[in-house]
Amino acid sequence: MKQADYSQLAQWDKDYVWHPFTQMKMWQAADPLIIERGEGSYLIDVQGKRYLDGISSLWVNVHGHVHPVLTQAIKEQADKIAHSTLLGLANVPSIQLAKKLVELTPPGLNKVFYSDAGATSVEIALKMAFQYWQQQSDPQLRRKKKFISLAEAYHGDTVGAVSVGGMDLFHATYRDLLFEGYKVPSPYCYRCSLGQERPHCSLDCLQAVEDIMSGHHEEIAAMIMEPLVQGAAGMITAPAGYLGKMRELCTKYNILLIADEVAVGFGRTGSLFACEQEGVSPDLMCIAKGLTGGYLPVAVTMTTDKIYQAFLGDIQEGKTFYHGHTFTGNPLGCAAALANIKVIEQSGLIKHVQHLAQILSSESEKFKELSHVGDIRQKGLMVGIELVKDKLTKEPYTLEENIGHQVTLEAREHGLIIRPLGNVIVLMPILAMSEEELSQVVSITCLAIKNVTESEQ
C-alpha cells in the first residue's frame, strides 16, 4: 500500500474510531498499526510487514488465520443463510453444535444457551443462577441472591459481569452501578494476600472461601471463577487441587459453581476444557473466544438438567428465562464452531498443545535470567511474565512508567504482536503454531524485555 493510502487510513482511524481499553490521547500521538490480512500464525499490515500473532488476536485464534476448513465452512453456510433468529425458530447449525458441545463438555452439562461474547455468556449464567433459586418452592432457598468471586477477577464488561469482577483499574468508575457480593482472595501465590508461600502453604486462601460460605451460604446463589488461570488478572495460575476443592465447597454448602471457561477453554490450558484437569463438572459453564476458532462471535452458557427443569412451567407461572440476543445461535458462527471442533479432533490439536507447552516451559527459562522478571506463570499455552523493579523486594513498576506497553512496542519492532496486562507480559500464542514460531515468540519477547527494562537502569 502506498504511504498516502496508509496516511489516509491512519487519519480516518484517529478521526472516527474509539479503541477499547485504550487511552486515546496516547493513541492519537502515535502511528497506528493497521492490519490488512492474516496467514497462519502471522498478521500482515497494510504495508506488507509480517508479525507473529503472540496473543492469538486477543486469545481467540486456535488454528491460525485463514484456515481453509473454517473459511470453507463459513462460505458454505453463507450460501444457505447467514442468520435466522432462535426466538420462535430453530436452525440446523445451532442444533448440531449444541449436541456436539454436550458430548464434549464435562458430564451433566446438557443444555446450551447461545449468546455472542464471553461477557454475555457470564451475564446469562448469573441470571440463570439467580432465577433458579427464586423459583424454588422452599422460601429459605429464595434468599440465595448473592455471588462469590475471586479478588482480581475479570469476567467481562457488562454490568453483571463487572459486579463479580475485581479489577479496580477497569471497574472502579462504575462502582455505583454494581450489585454487592462477596470477594475472596485469589490464589496469587507470587503476591499472596495472606502472606503465605508455595509450596509450603496449605491453600489457606481456600479456608477464607469456606469461612464466607459457612457463614453466608443461605444467601449465596453461586460462586463464579475462571478454572486454573485468572487470565486478565495477570495469568494468575491456581495451585493443583484448588479447583477441585472449590467444587467440593460449593457442593457442601449448596452453592452453584459457575466455571468461566471463556479464556481457558478449547485447548488453551492443555485439555479441551480446563475443568477436565481436576475432574470438575460445574453447574454452569461459560464458553466463547476459542469456540469458533477465533473467526466469529459466538458464546454459550451451558447448564444442567436440574437447573433447566426449574424454568419449566405454564406461561402464567413466570418461570420463562426472558433473555436473548439478536444474533443468538447465529448459523454462520455455529458453522464455524462445528468446523473448529472438527479440525481440533482430526488434527490432534490437544496433543500438539501439550507438546508446545513443554517446549514453552523449557524456553521460558530464558526469562529467569533477566534482572526485572519477578515471576513466570504458565498453564498450557497461557503465560504471564511479571516485571518488577526489584526482584528481591518485588517492587512493581508504577502505572505512569507503563513498562508493559513499552515492552510490547519494542516487540513489535522485531515482528511480534503481544499485549500487556499492566506489568505482566502475556504470551497466548495461536494453538496450532509451529515449534519454530513459538521459539521466535519467546526469543523476541525476551529481547524486548531486556532492551526496555535494562535500558531503564
Check: CB of residue 299 under 8 Å from CB of residue 60. no
In degrees and rounded to multiples of 5, residue 353 shows phi and psi of -65, -45
Tens of pLDDT along 119-160? 999 999 999 999 999 999 999 999 999 999 999 899 999 999
- Quote the CA–CA distance of 46 and 58 in Å, as a whole number: 20
* Per-residue confidence (pLDDT) for residue 192, from 0 to 100: 86
* Per-residue confidence (pLDDT) for residue 399, from 0 to 100: 92
- Quote the CA–CA distance of 424 and 388 in Å, as a whole number: 9
- Quote the CA–CA distance of 40 and 73 in Å, as a whole number: 17
In degrees and rounded to multiples of 5, residue 374 shows phi and psi of -90, -40
Least confident of 193-202, 245-254, 277-286: 193-202
* Per-residue confidence (pLDDT) for residue 242, from 0 to 100: 95
The overall average pLDDT reported for the chain is 95
Exposure string (b/e) for 81-111, b if CB count within 10 Å is 16 or more? eeeeebeeeebebbeebbebbeebbbeebbb
- Helix 403-413 crosses helix 435-455 at what angle (to 10 degrees)? 130
Tens of pLDDT along 436-446? 999 999 999 99
> At 197, is the pLDDT very low, low, confident or very high (cuts 50, 70, 90)?
confident
Check: CB of residue 99 under 8 Å from CB of residue 110. no
Check: CB of residue 440 under 8 Å from CB of residue 357. no
* Per-residue confidence (pLDDT) for residue 416, from 0 to 100: 98
Q: Which domains does the chain have, with CATH numbers?
A: 33-66+349-455 (3.90.1150.10), 70-347 (3.40.640.10)
Share of the chain above pLDDT 70, in %: 99
Q: What is the dihedral of CA 222, 225, 227, 232, to 10 degrees?
A: 160
Tens of pLDDT along 98-122? 999 999 999 999 999 999 999 999 9
Q: Is residue 269 scored above 90 in pLDDT?
A: yes
Q: Is residue 4 scored above 80 in pLDDT?
A: no
Cell of 64: 491460525
> At 1, is the pLDDT very low, low, confident or very high (cuts 50, 70, 90)?
confident
* Per-residue confidence (pLDDT) for residue 3, from 0 to 100: 73
One-letter identity of residue 337: A
> At 456, is the pLDDT very low, low, confident or very high (cuts 50, 70, 90)?
low
Tens of pLDDT along 364-394? 999 999 999 999 999 999 999 999 999 999 9
Q: Is residue 349 scored above 60 in pLDDT?
A: yes
* Per-residue confidence (pLDDT) for residue 167, from 0 to 100: 87
- Quote the CA–CA distance of 182 and 169 in Å, as a whole number: 19
In degrees and rounded to multiples of 5, residue 43 shows phi and psi of -105, 145
Strands (E), 63-219: 109-115, 146-150, 182-184
* Per-residue confidence (pLDDT) for residue 457, from 0 to 100: 55
Q: Is residue 29 scored above 90 in pLDDT?
A: yes
* Per-residue confidence (pLDDT) for residue 117, from 0 to 100: 96
pTM for this predicted structure:
0.96
* Per-residue confidence (pLDDT) for residue 171, from 0 to 100: 85
Tens of pLDDT along 215-228? 999 999 999 999 99
Instruction: Give the three-class secondary structure for 35.
Output: strand
Check: CB of residue 307 under 8 Å from CB of residue 284. yes
Average pLDDT over residues 47-59: 97
What is the pairing mode between strands 182-184 and 146-150? parallel
